[in-house]
Amino acid sequence: MTTVAAPPAATPAVDTSLDLDARLALTLAVMDERCTLAVLAVDVNTAHIPTVEPLPEITAPLTVPLTPAPSPYSTPLAALLHRARIRIETDGWCRDTLIDERGARCPIGAIRIEATSRDQADNACILLLDVLQQDFADATIPSWNAAQTSPAPVLRYLDRAAQHAHTRNL
């Protein structure tokens, strides 16, 4: 199909004796005519294209399931401690109980839920306790956790324990 462009409209001579407002009004009238011709040309040039049904309105946001990042550790206990850290980040952190009414967990609760066996959970708790006792000699996991005011130190010590397990190839 060949598109034929309309010949350019002759620009009327502008009388310089007109004031600024009158010249602007005259220019606006010319521009309106050009825009009308351009819209008409688009309608004519696209008349042969079949119409497409409009897209339905999306009213609900798409929910994309979150996939956890792969564990940076290849050893089982290090990977378990990393998963426990992720569990506390996603479900929340609590003190004085393994799991609270919101589903938040303490470090032991997070380790237990992520472990594949009770022995694996016990070994991970022992590693976490070893790391804690390097800085707090008489600490137990529950007493140390109860003394914390935010999840940041808990997450940091789970990271340290995971790194410790990884370096020991556990």
pLDDT, tens only, 19-58? 888 899 999 999 999 999 999 988 888 877 777 777 677 6
Q: What pLDDT sits at residue 45? A: 85
Q: What pLDDT sits at residue 42? A: 87
Checking if the pLDDT of 5 tops 70, the result is no
Confidence of residue 18 (pLDDT cuts 50, 70, 90): confident
Q: What pLDDT sits at residue 60? A: 67
125-130, long-range: CB < 8 A, 24+ apart:
127/77, 127/81, 127/161, 127/164, 127/165, 127/170, 128/81, 128/157, 128/158, 128/161, 130/161, 130/164
Averaged over 139-163, what is the pLDDT? 94
CA distances from 83 to 63, 91, 107, 162 (A): 23, 12, 11, 10
Q: What pLDDT sits at residue 46? A: 81
Averaged over 56-71, what is the pLDDT? 69
State the pTM of this model: 0.60
Q: Evaluate whether 54 touches 148 at the Cβ level (below 8 Å).
A: no
- Residue 159, Cα to own-chain centre: how many angstroms? 23
Measured CA to CA, the distance from residue 132 to residue 141 in angstroms comes to: 8
Tens-place pLDDT, residues 95-136:
989 899 999 999 999 999 999 999 999 999 999 999 999 999
Measured CA to CA, the distance from residue 162 to residue 118 in angstroms comes to: 18
Residue type, 135: D
- What residues contact 18, with CB distance under 8 A and at least 6 apart? 26
Structure tokens at 52: 């497409």
Averaged over 73-88, what is the pLDDT? 94
